[in-house]
Amino acid sequence: MKPLEVLLSKRWILKNRDKELYYQLKDEIGKSRDFLTEKLGYQAIVTPNLIKLEKIPAYAQNWMGIQEFSDHLEYIFLCMILMFLEERDLGEQFVLSMLTEYIQGNIKEEQIDWTIYSYRRHLVKVMKYCVKVGILEIDDGSEDNFMKSDEGEVLYQNTGASRYFMKNFSRDISDYQKQEDFLKEEWIGMNEDRGIIRRQRVYRSLLMSPGIYLNDDTEEDFAYV
pLDDT digits (tens, 9 = 90+) for 80-109: 999 999 999 999 999 999 999 999 999 987
Same domain for 45 and 86? no
One domain for residues 158 and 76: yes
Q: Which residues pair with 154 in a beta bridge?
A: 141
* Strand, helix or coil for residue 92: coil
Q: Which domain holds residue 47?
A: 3-54
Domain co-membership, 36 together with 81: no
Q: Provide the 8-state DSSP code for 168.
A: P
At 222, which amino acid appears?
F
pLDDT (mean) for 168-189: 65
Would you give the distance in Å from CA 203 to the centre of its chain? 9
Q: 85 or 185: which carries more pLDDT confidence?
A: 85
Residue 219 lies in a domain: no
The amino acid at 114: W
Mean pLDDT across the chain, nearest whole number? 79
Contact 42, 52 (CB under 8 A): no
Q: Nearest 5°: CA angle at 82, between 140 and 63?
A: 105
Q: Judge contact between 175 and 107, C-beta under 8 A.
A: no
Residues 50 and 124 in one domain: no
- Pick from 66-70, 112-116, 150-154: least confident: 66-70
Asked if residue 35 and residue 111 are part of one domain, the reply reads: no
- Angle value at C-alpha 162, between 176 and 38, nearest 5 degrees: 75
Confidence of residue 15 (pLDDT cuts 50, 70, 90): very high
